[in-house]
Each structure stands twice: as structure tokens, then as C-alpha cells.
Amino acid sequence: MNSGPSITANSPHFQRRWVEYYEAIAGRPPRDTLLMALELFSTELSARRRRTAVDLGCGEGRDTVEILRQNWRVIAVDGEPEAIARLRRRSDINRTYLETRVQRFEELTLPPDVDLVNASFCLPFCPPAAFAQLWEEIVTALRPGGRFCGHLFGDRDSWSAYCDISFHTRPQLEQLLAPFEIELLDEEDQPGKTALGDEKHWHLYNIVVRKR
Ligand SMILES: C[S@@+](CC[C@H](N)C(=O)[O-])C[C@H]1O[C@@H](n2cnc3c(N)ncnc32)[C@H](O)[C@@H]1O
């Protein structure tokens, strides 16, 4: 999905500093996109069975904690063993309905009939060559009426200079979202800072969608 003249064989690779990131965001609340999706489910007829969410790129668990708190079953996935170790050590979770996996997006396999796939600030870190397969896995796993919520990066994001980050133009995003009804599609395009305090231009899509 990446495009644009800046992508060449010599494009730099993104420097991953996940452990520093986990330290920096420790104690932060769940993402607004997740809260909106959970709220939308709560207005629907309550399911007789326990609902199942997949929290992709769960990190140290800021979103997983909230989904468990709302009595869902959660499959929390992250490619970084330290993320899963930190999540499992948390004292503020009940692990009865938590399954954790150290798995990279490039090898992701999901069960069928998932109610929610949450992917906060993580899918862009899937290498572009593997993104289409990852997205297909997510869409296929969701039941009709299930939701995806999370974030993708737009093509004006300053990290689009990195060859191993996936970013999407607005038309590309609309194509990805074709199997869904859009409940939130909010685009941010402004200078800001990362969680580690570095300056960057954010071109970000905040997404909550419901599978048709
Ligand atoms: C920016 S953090 C987001 C963590 C959390 N979801 C949040 O909102 O704070 C991105 C997470 O994605 C994970 N990640 C990055 N690339 C990945 C990949 N290719 N496969 C699996 N996980 C990956 C990282 O280990 C990290 O925990």
C-alpha cells in the first residue's frame, strides 16, 4: 500500500524502541476508539455468550485491561515478548478470560466469529509487503456485525519515509474499509510529539467500523 517517490531501496528503517515506549505510557487510560467501540456494543442487545475481542499490538495492556474489565474474553497479541510479560504481570487484570500470544502480524492467524478486533497504534508497524494478508485475516475473523477499531497512518505522516512502515492514502483507506459501515473515521494531520517526546508530523486515521 505504500506509495510515493520517497520509498527507495535506501529508505531508512524505523528504529523500534518498544520497551522505552511501554515505560513512557505506563498507567495511561484506554484509547478513545476502543471506548467508543465498547460503548456501541453496550447499546446493542446483550449477547448471551461472553464476547470475544482480539487486542492486536496490545503492548503492556492499556486497552486489554479495559476490555477484560467489561467482561469480555480477550486474545491479546504482540510480537514483543516483553509486552506480553508486562501484561501478564499486571495486578489490575483478572486472567481467567485472557489468552496471550507472542505473535508477529506477519504470521497472524485468528479464530472465526470474533466480535471485536482492536488495533491501537500498531498496524502501521506491519511491513508493507505483509499488510494486505494481515488485513484480510482481520476482516475474515470478524463476524458480521463485529467491529474493528484502532488507527492507521496516512501518507503525509512523517514516518512514511521509513520503508518498513505501512501507510495509506485516503482512497486506499476507503478501499480497506469497504466491507464495513463507518461509525468513526476521524483524520488528524498535524505536527505533534511521540510518546517518547520526539517531534513528528502525525497523519492519523482514528477508526471505528462495523462489519456488514
Ligand atoms: C505503539 S505500540 C502500541 C501499544 C498499545 N496498543 C497502545 O495503544 O499503546 C505498538 C505495539 O505493536 C507491536 N508490534 C509492532 N510491530 C509488530 C509486528 N510486526 N507484529 C506484532 N506486534 C508488533 C509492538 O511490539 C508494540 O507493542
- Model pTM? 0.95
For the Cβ of 66 lying below 6 angstroms from any atom of ligand 1, the answer is no
In this predicted structure, what is the pLDDT of residue 10?
67
For the Cβ of 56 lying below 6 angstroms from any atom of ligand 1, the answer is no
Mean pLDDT, residues 152-176 taken together: 97
Q: Whose CA is nearest to atom 11 of ligand 1?
A: 57
Predicted confidence (pLDDT) per residue in 36-81, tens digit? 999 999 999 776 799 999 999 999 999 999 999 999 999 999 999 9
In this predicted structure, what is the pLDDT of residue 48?
79
CATH topology of domain 12-211: Rossmann fold (3.40.50)
pLDDT at 6 over 50: no
For the Cβ of 25 lying below 6 angstroms from any atom of ligand 1, the answer is yes
Q: Which atom of ligand 1 is nearest to the CA of 104?
A: 20
Mean pLDDT, residues 107-133 taken together: 98
CB 204 within 8 A of CB 190: no
Q: β-strands 142-153, 199-211: how paired?
A: antiparallel
Q: Which atom of ligand 1 is nearest to the CA of 31?
A: 8
Give me the residue spans of the domains in the chain. 12-211
